[in-house]
């Protein structure tokens, strides 16, 4: 199963263990009761936590109460933890207009696949996409000057990156 990072647990709220999930799904989100969210226990090891209740706060934050976390003290242990969704839940909940909806897309340059988008960071003037090249983390800017075409049906982003940009990530 593939998981997509949507945000992190930013703060506790109240005394019953409720927390504020700061997410980048691009719209107000109320998570379904009983639905799982995943916290990364250790690298690539995801533990499911089930939603007891949830309520949208705004387009970037939701209140969530997770099963087994019933006090402010218990909630404190999980603050700043990253929150992930399964691929199906992610695509169901993420707004298609937001940059995070590009997770899982292939980046292609000159008919060659460069990599699959694993993470997205939105900055004021560009979007950065994390891929893996030769077992190294690489950050590819999706600036309008480099972007040639986005095929949402095939989940492919066609780019023309500046010469030499990828060389720093490749093993030679």
- Cβ count within 10 A of residue 101: 19
Is the pLDDT at 172 greater than 70, yes or no?
Answer: no
Pairing of strands 112-116, 119-122: unpaired
- Mean pLDDT taken over the chain: 90
pLDDT on residue 21: 97
pLDDT on residue 121: 85
Global confidence as pTM: 0.74
Res. 152 pLDDT band, cuts 50 70 90: confident
pLDDT tens-digit profile of 132-144? 988 889 998 888 8
pLDDT on residue 168: 80
Q: Which residue has the higher pLDDT, 122 or 89?
A: 89
pLDDT tens-digit profile of 36-86? 999 987 777 889 999 999 999 999 999 999 999 999 999 999 999 999 999
pLDDT on residue 45: 80
Range 138-162 burial, b when 16+ CB lie within 10 A, else e: bebbbeeebbeeeeeeeeebbbebe
In angstroms, rounded to a whole number, what is the distance separating the alpha carbons of residues 139 and 119? 9
Residue 84 · residue 93 · CB < 8 Å: no
Q: What is the DSSP track for the chain?
A: --EEEEEEEEEEETTTTEEEEEE-SSS---PPTT-EEEEEEETTEEEEEEEEEEEE-SSSEEEEEETT--SHHHHHTTTT-EEEEEHHHHHHHS-TTSGGGGTTPEEEETTEEEEE--EEEE-SS-EEEEEEETTEEEEEE--TTTEEEEETTTTEEEE-PPTTTTGGGS--
Domains recognised in the chain with CATH numbers: 3-93 (2.40.30.60), 99-169 (2.30.30.240)
pLDDT on residue 171: 66
Q: What is the C-alpha radius of gyration for the chain, rounded to an integer number of angstroms?
A: 18
């Amino acid at each position: 199963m593939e998981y997509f990072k949507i945000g992190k647990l930013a703060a506790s709220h109240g005394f019953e263990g409720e927390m504020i999930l700061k997410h980048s799904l691009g719209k107000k989100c109320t998570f379904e009761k009983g639905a799982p969210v995943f916290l990364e226990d250790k690298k690539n090891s995801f533990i499911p936590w089930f939603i007891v209740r949830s309520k949208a706060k705004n387009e970037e934050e939701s209140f969530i109460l997770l099963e087994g976390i019933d006090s402010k003290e218990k909630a404190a242990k999980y603050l700043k933890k990253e929150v992930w969704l399964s691929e199906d839940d992610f695509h169901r909940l993420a707004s298609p207009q937001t940059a995070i909806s590009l997770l899982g897309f292939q980046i292609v340059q000159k008919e060659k696949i460069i990599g699959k988008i694993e993470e997205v960071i939105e900055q004021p003037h560009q979007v950065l996409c994390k891929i893996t090249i030769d077992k190294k983390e690489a950050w590819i800017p999706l600036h309008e000057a480099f972007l040639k075409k986005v095929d949402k049906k095939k989940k492919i982003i066609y780019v023309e990156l500046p010469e030499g940009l990828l060389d720093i990530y490749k093993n030679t």
